[in-house]
């Protein structure tokens, strides 16, 4: 919106300057016909060239007010430096343009140059740097650092619940290329992918409708990410340039981001940190579902999805057993509990599931009948 307001003001000023100068009796008359054409054609030509250069250059972020003033200052300096060149060209080539016409051309040239400089600065302000003195339009963030959402985190949906429960208050940012990837997934021929994509779009709409969640679709173009293929790599570069924190459920993306020294929040890690700790030596009950990879191993699952690997239970599939915990492993890919077979769960143990002290049942594990 700001850039289009700037373009409108630019055309209004150009037309006003043209009208004022061509209305002068010394230019609008027959004697000043050459000056009239010189002003009109130079003004319109410069305005069209400046506008085309502005429109065809890559679009970036909107400008800060400081960038506008800085661009205006640089544009005025360049215009002042080019004024003698314009007069010199008039004398050398014998164009015969009057002093008033030269003044009009200088005005319009200055307006075009200021417009171009301001337009470039406001759209590339993160790349403007000077050596002496060192000046940088750095991207500033207010309050907490923003959270950059990955496609997997959006589809997962738990980030919306975390914000709903006031766990986070930082602004949420969804890059445009992530939204485009989500759109492609929702249009997939595969039914499962299509449902996941539509779920992600529904979650974004739900967060936008929630006044307590500050969510933004960001169209910022990062030059370093333009030639990079793959959304994951673009996300890492975007997060680093945005000075934000990457939110994902992807284990591999988490590792890549950490190697690139990008702060990353893995929702699975957060969920695992809130699970009840399984200490070695404690007992619990689990139903064996399938055989494990090693001989004599049986595998079961708690109600929260935690995998339990039990030694000596390969032939006890379908039975509910009591196990002694030997160790546990917690990673971004999930949590695993290892134990050894102690015995079959008796009906008395099942009835004592809520208040028993002989073995420990983690929170969230429902009583089995």
In three-state secondary structure terms, 28 is: helix
Alpha helices per DSSP H over the chain:
2-22, 25-28, 33-56, 65-92, 99-123, 151-156, 158-164, 176-186, 191-209, 223-226, 231-242, 251-259, 267-273, 347-351
Mean pLDDT for the stretch of residues 210-228: 77
Q: What is the band of 212 on the pLDDT scale with cuts at 50, 70, 90?
A: confident
pTM above 0.85, yes or no: no
- Whether residue 227 sits in one domain with residue 258: yes
Higher pLDDT, 263 or 46: 263
Mean pLDDT for the stretch of residues 29-50: 73
- Whether residue 331 sits in one domain with residue 230: no
- Whether residue 263 sits in one domain with residue 287: no
- Whether residue 156 sits in one domain with residue 115: no
pLDDT tens digits, residue range 130-182? Answer: 433 434 444 555 457 888 999 999 998 888 888 888 888 888 889 888 888 88
- Whether residue 108 sits in one domain with residue 33: yes
Distance separating alpha carbons of residues 108 and 87, to the nearest angstrom: 14
What distance lies between CA 59 and its chain's CA centroid?
Answer: 16
Percent of the chain past pLDDT 70, that is, above it, reads 76
> Per the structure block, which two tokens stand in for 22?
């061509």
The residue from 231, 251, 272 where one domain ends is 272
Query: Is 294 a residue whose pLDDT tops 80?
Result: yes
Distance separating alpha carbons of residues 123 and 67, to the nearest angstrom: 9
Which DSSP category does 231 fall into?
Answer: H
Query: Is 219 a residue whose pLDDT tops 70?
Result: yes
Question: Is residue 215 domain-resident?
Answer: yes
- Whether residue 13 sits in one domain with residue 126: yes
Distance separating alpha carbons of residues 216 and 282, to the nearest angstrom: 47
- Whether residue 336 sits in one domain with residue 290: yes
At residue 256's C-alpha, the angle toward residues 255 and 258, to 5°, is: 65
Phi and psi, residue 337, nearest 5°: -120, 135
Percent of the chain past pLDDT 90, that is, above it, reads 4
Question: Is residue 142 domain-resident?
Answer: no
- pLDDT given at position 76: 82
pLDDT tens digits, residue range 62-107? Answer: 445 566 777 778 888 888 888 888 778 877 777 777 777 777 888 8
In three-state secondary structure terms, 363 is: coil
Q: What is the band of 32 on the pLDDT scale with cuts at 50, 70, 90?
A: low
- pLDDT given at position 349: 55
- pLDDT given at position 52: 77
What distance lies between CA 134 and its chain's CA centroid?
Answer: 28
Which DSSP category does 247 fall into?
Answer: E
Bridge-based pairing of strands 129-130 and 135-136 is antiparallel
- Whether residue 260 sits in one domain with residue 165: yes
The residue from 115, 136, 157 where one domain ends is 136
- Whether residue 117 sits in one domain with residue 59: yes
Any idea what the CATH number is for the domain that residue 226 is in? 3.40.50.1010
Distance separating alpha carbons of residues 345 and 355, to the nearest angstrom: 15
pLDDT tens digits, residue range 321-340? Answer: 888 888 887 765 667 889 98
Question: Is residue 369 domain-resident?
Answer: no
- Whether residue 261 sits in one domain with residue 155: yes
Question: Is residue 363 domain-resident?
Answer: no
Q: Kindly give, in sequence order, each residue whose CB lies less than 8 Å from that of residue 184, ignoring residues fewer than 6 positions away.
A: 197
Omega of the bond leading into 133 within 30 degrees of 0 (cis): yes
The residue from 239, 272, 305 where one domain ends is 272
- Whether residue 300 sits in one domain with residue 259: no
Average pLDDT over the chain, rounded to whole? 77
Q: For residue 74, what are the domain limits?
A: 2-136
* Residue 330 CB neighbours (<10 A): 17
Q: What is the band of 202 on the pLDDT scale with cuts at 50, 70, 90?
A: very high
Domain total of the chain: 3
Question: Is residue 110 domain-resident?
Answer: yes
Query: Is 244 a residue whose pLDDT tops 80?
Result: yes
Any idea what the CATH number is for the domain that residue 288 is in? 2.40.50
Query: Is 296 a residue whose pLDDT tops 60?
Result: yes
Query: Is 199 a residue whose pLDDT tops 60?
Result: yes
CA separation, residue 332 to residues 232, 248, 269, 309 (Å): 17, 10, 5, 18
- Whether residue 127 sits in one domain with residue 72: yes
- Contact call for residues 85 and 151 (beta carbons, < 8 A): no
Q: Kindly give, in sequence order, each residue whose CB lies less than 8 Å from that of residue 71, ignoring residues fewer than 6 positions away.
A: 63, 114, 117, 118, 119, 120, 121, 122
């Amino acid at each position: 919106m700001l850039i289009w307001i700037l373009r409108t003001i630019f055309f209004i000023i150009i037309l006003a300057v043209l009208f004022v100068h061509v209305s002068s009796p010394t230019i609008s008359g027959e004697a000043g016909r050459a000056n009239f054409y010189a002003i009109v054609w130079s003004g319109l030509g410069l305005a069209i060239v400046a506008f085309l250069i502005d429109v065809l250059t890559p679009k970036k972020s909107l400008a800060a007010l400081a960038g506008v003033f800085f661009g205006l200052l640089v544009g005025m300096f360049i215009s002042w430096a080019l004024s003698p060149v314009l007069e010199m060209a008039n004398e050398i080539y014998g164009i015969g343009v009057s002093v008033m016409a030269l003044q009009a051309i200088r005005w319009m040239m200055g307006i075009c140059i200021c417009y171009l400089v301001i337009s470039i600065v406001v759209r590339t302000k993160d790349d403007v740097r000077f050596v002496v003195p060192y000046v940088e339009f750095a991207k500033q963030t207010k309050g907490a650092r923003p959270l950059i959402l990955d496609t997997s985190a959006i589809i997962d949906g738990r980030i919306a619940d975390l914000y709903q429960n006031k766990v986070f208050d930082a602004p949420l940012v969804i890059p445009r290329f992530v939204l485009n990837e989500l759109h492609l997934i929702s249009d997939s021929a595969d039914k499962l992918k299509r449902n996941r994509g539509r779920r992600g779009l529904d979650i974004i709409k739900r967060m936008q409708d929630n006044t307590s969640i500050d969510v933004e679709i960001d169209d910022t173009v990062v030059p370093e990410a333009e030639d990079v293929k793959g959304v994951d790599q673009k996300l890492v570069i975007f997060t680093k340039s945005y000075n934000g924190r990457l939110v994902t459920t992807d284990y591999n993306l988490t590792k890549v981001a950490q190697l690139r020294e990008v702060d990353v929040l893995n929702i699975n890690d957060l969920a695992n940190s809130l699970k009840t700790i399984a200490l070695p030596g404690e007992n619990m009950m689990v139903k064996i579902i399938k055989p494990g990879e090693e001989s004599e191993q049986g595998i079961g699952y708690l109600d929260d999805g935690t995998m339990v690997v039990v030694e000596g239970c390969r032939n006890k599939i379908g039975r509910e057993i009591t196990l002694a915990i030997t160790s546990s492993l917690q990673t971004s890919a999930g949590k695993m509990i290892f134990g050894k077979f102690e015995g079959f769960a008796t009906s008395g143990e099942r009835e004592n599931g809520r208040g028993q002290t002989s073995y420990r049942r983690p929170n969230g594990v429902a009583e089995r009948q």
